[in-house]
Copies of this chain bind each other. A is one copy, B any other.
Amino acid sequence: MKVKHVVVALTAFTLSAGASLALAQAKPEVLVKQRQAAMTLQGKYFGPLAAMAQGKAPFNGAVVARNAGFLEALSQMPWDGFDAASKGVKSEALPAVYSDAAKFKLASENLHAAVGKLVAASKGSDEAATKAAIGGVGKTCGGCHDDFREKH
């Protein structure tokens, strides 16, 4: 049991430093539920920003700043849920998540970097720059979904 914990903890560490404790005892089905929860909430808080960037909703800088802060936290949450232990659980994750783990990790880092740029932009008052940063986040979402999620 202890050896398994250490292995799981090390795997988690390569995905997200410090996440080991959250992962150590989670069952595969729980890992999937938790990572899907993080995706759901990223959608909740990114959706309205995408609408603003596309001109489908009026720009609201306060909402962008708040949601960007939430996304800063949320964008760190899904990745330890893609631990190899969850490979056999039915989900929309493509096998490439596990067979091309380095590319998947890079995609998750790209999201986090893009969210960082959005957080920075949302603290300023340049609406065009903020909308561009929203677009940057959207590209990393879509890029990763193209490669690693079943087509809808």
Contact = CB atoms under 8 A, between A and B. Distances in A.
Given A33-B40, A37-B37, A40-B37, A21 B60 contact: yes
A34 interface: yes
Interface residues of A, number: 30
A48 interface: yes
How many monomers of this protein are in the complex? 2
A106 interface: no
Nearest to A41: B37
A98 interface: no
Interface in A71-115: 72-74, 76-77
A70 B80 CA distance: 15
The 4 closest A-B pairs by CB, nearest first: A37-B37, A37-B40, A73-B73, A21-B48
